[in-house]
Amino acid sequence: AMNSIFSSDITPETIAKLEREQSQIQEKKDELPKLEFELSKLEMYADACVKVLPIMKQEWSSYENITKEIQQKAKVARSIRIKADEAKSILESKKEELDEIKEEFDEKTEIINKIRIIK
């Protein structure tokens, strides 16, 4: 009785459809080893990344430290430059004062020399 139910469902179209599905399934099964190989390569790559990550973090933090050091040295250099500029302006004003004193001295020397000539 069960055989007769199935036999009425099995037409050439359903057989063709089942064969197409079966060949599609077979193609997918044939791709599996290739996909598994690709997956294993990706897993190896992921493992390598995980191993390299701490080293990269360490290098990055050392780069950050070097950057901080450079910034610190740049700050010191700027403050030295500011102090040097201040010292330069102080020296220039002292030089002006000295020039004025020298001028005054030269004038007084000239007056003294004139007085000497008169005597």
Entry pTM? 0.41
- Rounded to whole angstroms, what are the CA distances from 74 to 27, 64, 68, 69? 66, 15, 10, 8
**What is the average pLDDT across 60-82?**
95
Using pLDDT thresholds of 50, 70 and 90, give the confidence band for residue 78: very high
Q: Kindly tell me if the per-residue pLDDT of 116 is higher than 90.
A: no
Give CA–CA dist 36/29, Å, rounded: 11
Q: pLDDT tens, 8-33?
A: 677 888 888 999 999 999 999 999 99
- Rounded to whole angstroms, what are the CA distances from 106 to 3, 91, 95, 101? 138, 22, 16, 8
